[in-house]
């Protein structure tokens, strides 16, 4: 693997940058692997990376129906934070934020993690009470989060309109200073490059169409659009398509897939210093390094795999953006798109073994799994390699719905996160 450093960039600049090699190979699938990961999003590629790096499993493949990073990893608004209410979630997301902090160095690849601060706006008395409860719970868990008055929020983010005459006035905010953004594609590419260098085969344009099992029920491999690929262990990380893939093994999960939309504006000079989220009025905004405003909208109401969604959803978000940030009223939007997010009833993920021996699943990240990419991948690799969960993901089982031990971030946040 060619490594990046100031010196290597300079040296190759003299050669007109013509000596760089591709980041990863395009291998033919082998007949059999020790483990196969279904889905080359950030979570799947990261899982392969940590399987190879920390568990010495090198004879593994990641199988992707489209191109790597082309799912929700490449479609999301990249908000990273860990100020979730419950102990289980705080443990999982904080594990991830800690990995983000050193990920560029770990991968020798700039994932552009930018802890510029994530500010969540409170617009109602209920919001204030919920956010203050989060602030206290987070501090008890060693996760930074602080309460700001409306004036302090404006000081932190000058474009914010805190006029009391707003339809939903800003009454205060919760700020996680270590939260921020990262470059979505770079996360997929960095993990792919690192995994490939350790011998992991990344097989793109190859759709998994079946899961084969031995008479005793254990997994023996996957049928794909490029033929059968044997595997002792199969880890499914297929986001919005998880129900479809798990049905191939006869499993039904507590999941529903919905379109979630985002849009970006024309690029402008740096004008927006942080990330602002408003769950109450459904608006999520930051500015990318290219200068585009990156805006997240809400989910459409119905189950869909269309990666589109209705125009009234982003229009509603833009109403809120224009009211909260009047200086953006004349900005033009360049592109909008949708991704298909798999949601669980409690809005917490499932990272677990399944009733099928050798089959593992990492899903249910819904509207908010990008932030968890390295942490999720890290504990899922542990789960696959050891055939038992890491203590951090042990509560995130499928059985929690049967046993009534939900991790109810849905009730805690009341909306998308």
Q: Where do contacts with other proteins occur on this chain (CB under 8 A)?
A: 241, 243-244, 252-257, 301-306, 308, 310-312, 342, 345, 401-403
Q: State the nearest-atom distance from the C-beta of 399 to other proteins, in Å.
A: 9
Print burial letters for 198-207: b (CB count within 10 Å at least 16), e (below 16).
bebbbbbebb
Residues 6+ apart with CB under 8 A from 48: 37, 60, 61, 62, 191, 195, 200, 202, 381
Which does residue 303 touch among other proteins, ligand FAD, none (CB within 5 to 8 A, set by kind)?
other proteins
CA angle 372, 86, 298 (to 5 degrees): 55
3-state secondary structure of 33: strand
What CA dihedral angle connects 270, 274, 279 and 284, to 10 degrees? 30
| Cβ(349)–Cβ(365) below 8 Å | yes
Nearest-angstrom CA–CA distance, 76 and 58: 30
Q: State the nearest-atom distance from the C-beta of 219 to ligand FAD, in Å.
A: 15
| Cβ(203)–Cβ(30) below 8 Å | no
Nearer to ligand FAD, 29 or 39 (CB): 39
Q: State the nearest-atom distance from the C-beta of 309 to other proteins, in Å.
A: 9
Q: State the nearest-atom distance from the C-beta of 61 to ligand FAD, in Å.
A: 11
Nearer to ligand FAD, 172 or 368 (CB): 368
Which does residue 77 touch among ligand FAD, other proteins, none (CB within 5 to 8 A, set by kind)?
ligand FAD
Of residues 393, 377, 389, the one with CA closest to residue 42: 377
Which does residue 304 touch among other proteins, ligand FAD, none (CB within 5 to 8 A, set by kind)?
other proteins
Which does residue 371 touch among ligand FAD, other proteins, none (CB within 5 to 8 A, set by kind)?
ligand FAD
CA angle 239, 110, 392 (to 5 degrees): 45
Q: State the nearest-atom distance from the C-beta of 374 to ligand FAD, in Å.
A: 11
The 10 Å Cβ neighbour count of residue 113 is: 22
Which does residue 76 touch among ligand FAD, other proteins, none (CB within 5 to 8 A, set by kind)?
ligand FAD
Binding site for ligand FAD (CB under 6 A): 38-44, 63-66, 70-73, 75-79, 207-208, 237-239, 241, 245, 260-262, 296, 339, 341, 365, 367-371
CA distances from 214 to 29, 64, 231, 252, 357 (A): 21, 24, 12, 20, 10
Which does residue 314 touch among ligand FAD, other proteins, none (CB within 5 to 8 A, set by kind)?
none
Q: State the nearest-atom distance from the C-beta of 301 to other proteins, in Å.
A: 4
Which does residue 73 touch among other proteins, ligand FAD, none (CB within 5 to 8 A, set by kind)?
ligand FAD
Q: State the nearest-atom distance from the C-beta of 255 to other proteins, in Å.
A: 6
Nearer to ligand FAD, 43 or 400 (CB): 43
Nearer to ligand FAD, 150 or 157 (CB): 157
Of residues 403, 304, 281, the one with CA closest to residue 346: 403
Nearer to ligand FAD, 69 or 162 (CB): 69
DSSP-derived secondary structure letter, 138? H
């Amino acid at each position: 693997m060619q490594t990046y450093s100031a010196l290597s960039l300079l040296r190759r600049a003299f050669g007109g940058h013509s000596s760089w090699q591709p980041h990863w190979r395009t291998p033919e699938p082998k007949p059999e692997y020790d483990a196969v990961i279904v889905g080359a999003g950030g979570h799947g590629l990261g899982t392969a990376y940590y399987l190879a790096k920390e568990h010495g499993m090198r004879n593994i493949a990641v199988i992707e129906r489209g191109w790597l990073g082309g799912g929700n990893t490449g479609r999301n608004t990249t908000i990273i934070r860990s100020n979730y209410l419950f102990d289980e979630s705080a443990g999982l997301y904080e594990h991830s934020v800690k990995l983000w902090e050193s990920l560029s160095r770990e991968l020798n690849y700039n994932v552009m993690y930018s802890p510029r601060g994530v500010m969540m706006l409170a617009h109602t008395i209920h919001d204030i009470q919920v956010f203050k409860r989060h602030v206290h719970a987070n501090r008890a868990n060693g996760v930074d989060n602080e309460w700001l008055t409306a004036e302090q929020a404006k000081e932190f983010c000058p474009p914010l309109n805190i006029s009391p005459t707003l339809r939903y006035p800003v009454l205060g905010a919760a700020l996680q200073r270590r939260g921020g953004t990262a470059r979505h594609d770079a996360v997929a590419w960095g993990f792919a490059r690192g995994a490939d260098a350790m011998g992991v085969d990344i097989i793109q344009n190859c759709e998994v169409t079946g899961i084969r099992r031995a008479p005793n029920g254990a997994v023996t491999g996957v049928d794909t659009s490029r033929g059968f690929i044997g595997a002792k262990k199969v880890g499914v990380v297929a986001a919005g398509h998880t129900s479809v893939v798990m049905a191939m093994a006869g499993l039904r999960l507590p999941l529903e897939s919905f379109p979630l939309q985002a849009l970006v504006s024309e690029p402008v000079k740096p004008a927006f210093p942080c990330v602002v989220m408003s769950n109450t009025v459904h608006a999520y905004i930051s500015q990318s390094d290219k200068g585009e405003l990156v805006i997240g909208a809400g989910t459409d109401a119905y189950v869909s795999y269309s990666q589109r969604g209705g125009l009234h959803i982003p229009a509603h978000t833009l109403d809120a953006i224009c009211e909260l940030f009047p200086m953006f009223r004349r900005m033009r939007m360049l592109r909008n798109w949708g991704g298909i997010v798999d949601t669980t009833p409690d809005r917490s993920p499932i990272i677990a073994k399944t009733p099928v021996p050798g089959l593992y699943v990492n899903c249910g990240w819904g509207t908010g799994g990008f932030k968890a990419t390295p942490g999720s991948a890290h504990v899922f690799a542990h789960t696959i390699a050891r055939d038992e969960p890491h203590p951090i993901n042990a509560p995130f089982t499928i059985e929690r719905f049967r046993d009534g031990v939900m991790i109810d971030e849905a009730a805690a946040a009341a909306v998308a996160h």
